[in-house]
A and B are shown apart, each in its own frame.
Chain A
């Protein structure tokens, strides 16, 4: 692994982290989700990248 690789992948990791954090904040704030909340916590944390997106698209109920 060279330095450029880390430089290029680091931002990706940061973005992913931001995505997870805002999804969790939103999950905490929101009143109702489609399906139980604990399930969404697991999905958001363990399914890299896809998890938070899926949550934002189908998890939120307004």
Chain B
């Protein structure tokens, strides 16, 4: 009951600051931007008409898989950035402003406080991802050819798992930092480091959660789901749970001033 109180309050707060509108719209833009420009690139170049005499312009039209992957990779970069920015103040803002002291003076459980906020943020991001990638899929279907609904749905679900871990990391930094900017900065650094390490050792740590997007790409090319994606998913869930547990303990032992 207390959990749902905090959860509903979070959803309302997201709603009143228009996050439920602007985050999905921005994600949609990210998802359709690249497929659209790639498709119309030749036309745009034509209309600009600065092609020198005799030069032949040959733009290979991307394949369906390539086009769809563009949507995913755009969200994998800019979408992650937005997700981090949207959740950087979940706890840190309340601690800094002082509302936290009032909340704390009521019999609020730290677990409820952390997880309710986390799930509310995850819902916002998952919704935005699902909507934007479905719109991207629709555009790709019109412009480049067919991808099955099953394939896109499965890919979206795995992609959400990747974002789940990112929000977990953001929550962890939230639990002991006061500055939203620092939370965002360190979260992004952490995600970048994880990505770099996993791509260097991608043959060793095949279960790395940051490889989920690579496995999704392979899925679009081959139509076959790699077995490793399941290990990555388990690892992502484990890291998320770990982050949330540590965040709860950190917050509990944190001195307020």
* Direct contact between the two chains A and B in their complex (CB within 8 A): yes
Residue of A nearest to B97 (CB): A62
Q: Is the interface of B mostly helix, strand, loop or mixed?
A: helix
Known contacts: A22-B21, A26-B17, A52-B22. The answer to whether A8 contacts B29 by CB under 8 A is no
| With A18-B21, A19-B22, A22-B22 as contacts: A49 and B142 at CB distance below 8 Å | no
Cβ contact within 8 Å between A56 and B22: yes
Decide if B193 is an interface residue (CB 8 Å cutoff): no
A15–B25 contact, CB under 8 A? yes
Q: Are B17 and A15 within 8 A (Cβ)? A: no
- Docked pose: A22 CA to B29 CA in angstroms: 16
A22 to B16, CA, bound (A): 11
User: In the complex, are the beta carbons of A19 and B93 less than 8 A apart?
Assistant: no
User: Cβ of B36 and Cβ of A53 under 8 Å apart?
Assistant: no
Chain A interface, DSSP helix/strand/loop, else mixed:
helix
Q: A26-52 vs B: 1/0 string, CB under 8 Å?
A: 100000000000000000000001001
Size of interface on A: residues with Cβ below 8 Å to B:
19
Q: Which residue of A lies closest to B78 (CB)?
A: A53
Q: Are B18 and A8 in contact (CB under 8 A)?
A: no
Q: Is the CB of B21 within 8 A of A12?
A: no
Task: Assess the A56–B18 pair: CB atoms within 8 A.
Answer: yes
Which one of A5, A9, A22 contacts B18 once the chains associate, using CB atoms below 8 Å? Answer: A22
Interface residues of B, count at CB 8 A:
19
Give residues 2-33 of B contacting A (CB, 8 Å). 17-19, 21-22, 25-26, 28-29, 32
Q: Which of B21, B28, B40, B142 has the most CB of A within 10 A?
A: B21
B139 at the interface (CB under 8 A from A): yes
Instruction: Judge whether A57 is part of the interface by a CB distance below 8 angstroms.
Output: yes
Q: Is residue B85 within 8 Å, beta carbon to beta carbon, of the partner chain?
A: yes
User: Which of B25, B32, B40 makes the CB contact (< 8 A) with A19?
Assistant: B25
7 tightest CB-CB pairs across the interface, nearest first?
Answer: A22-B18, A15-B25, A57-B85, A56-B22, A19-B25, A22-B21, A26-B18
Residues on B lying within 8 angstroms of A by beta carbon are 17-19, 21-22, 25-26, 28-29, 32, 36, 40, 82, 85, 93, 97, 139, 142-143
**Contact sample, A vs B, 17 pairs, CB 8 Å cutoff:** A8-B139, A15-B28, A18-B21, A18-B25, A19-B25, A19-B26, A23-B18, A25-B18, A49-B29, A52-B22, A53-B22, A53-B82, A56-B17, A56-B19, A56-B22, A57-B85, A62-B17
With A4-B142, A8-B139, A56-B18 known, 7 other A-B pairs at CB within 8 A are A12-B29, A18-B21, A18-B25, A22-B18, A22-B21, A26-B17, A62-B97
